[in-house]
Amino acid sequence: MFGLILSLIILLSFNSEKILSEDINVSPKDRYNMSSNITKSEKVMKMEQRLEKEFEDYFDREISEVSKAGNDIAQKLLEISQKSNIRPAVFWAIPESEHLHLVLISPGKKPLVQDIDSLKRESLIRKVKLFNNEITNPQTLFTDSYLSLAQQLYQWIVEPFEANLQEEKIDTILFCLGAGLRTLPIAALHDGKQFLVEKYSLAIIPAFNLIDSNYTPIQKARILAMGASEFPTQSPLPAVPIELSTIVDKNLIENISTKNLSRGWPGKLFLNQDFT
């Protein structure tokens, strides 16, 4: 099975140049269909309800009774921003059969919508699959062969709202991805200079109405840190004690077990036998 998968990855990598050469007709000037001025808050709610139904059908149960519209989401983001001193935004990227549907909501702002009309779902998903294969291909592990795909996907998905993200001083993006994009390693998208994860804190959510959006301060949170560095039949992981001590107390590297800490993050540490 592994040999079959590896052969498929290699085959796809050989065809990557051909697939990349199949340009999608989008000119820089009129690349996107701008519709932010006529976008209504209710449209966001309907989009959220559609996403919610996908997950409810999959799990065969009702998941959420919340139905926030776009303006409600914007106000919730503003509330979080005021309490936490961060600038979050929700970013929907929904592949439709004939276009890519993008929506951005910033704290206290009306929803912005941009549709890439000539980017069909089939073409986008093919690039996403190729990108996933390229970054996991053992033969290209230490190369930048994935970079052109990372930049292309960035241009399609993130660039349409890049100016808005900068203008609103957004530092945290909650991505809600439609079917076909949910396996996309969004952090690895590249703007030509930086990976997306170097510019923003990132999270992927199923839908905004499916998460608990109430802000909980973590300043007084207690940490329960656990890990294993020694194994009977596997190679040791010497960095685990260091990682644990970094989380709670940088001075505790060896023989850390259940100890209340007086500095750093308050909490307890469990290592090796104490953990298992």
Can you tell me which residue has the tokens 């309907």? 46
Rounded CA-CA distance 191/195 in Å is 7
Query: Given pLDDT bands bounded at 50, 70 and 90, which one contains residue 134?
Result: very high
235-257 pLDDT, tens digit per residue, is 999 999 888 888 886 444 444 44
Contacts of 70 (CB under 8 A, 6+ apart): 39, 40, 41, 42, 43, 44, 45, 105, 110, 111
- For residue 122, which of 14, 24, 21 has the smallest C-alpha distance? 24
Which one is predicted more confidently, 90 or 256? 90
What do you get for the CA distance between the two ends of the chain, in Å?
Answer: 33
Instruction: Give tens-digit pLDDT for 7-64.
Output: 322 233 333 333 333 333 333 333 444 444 444 588 898 899 899 999 999 999 988 8
DSSP H helical segments within the chain, as ranges?
2-14, 16-20, 41-59, 70-84, 121-136, 147-157, 162-167, 196-199, 239-247
Count Cα atoms within 13 angstroms, Cβ side, for 193: 1
- Cβ contact 223:210 at 8 Å: no
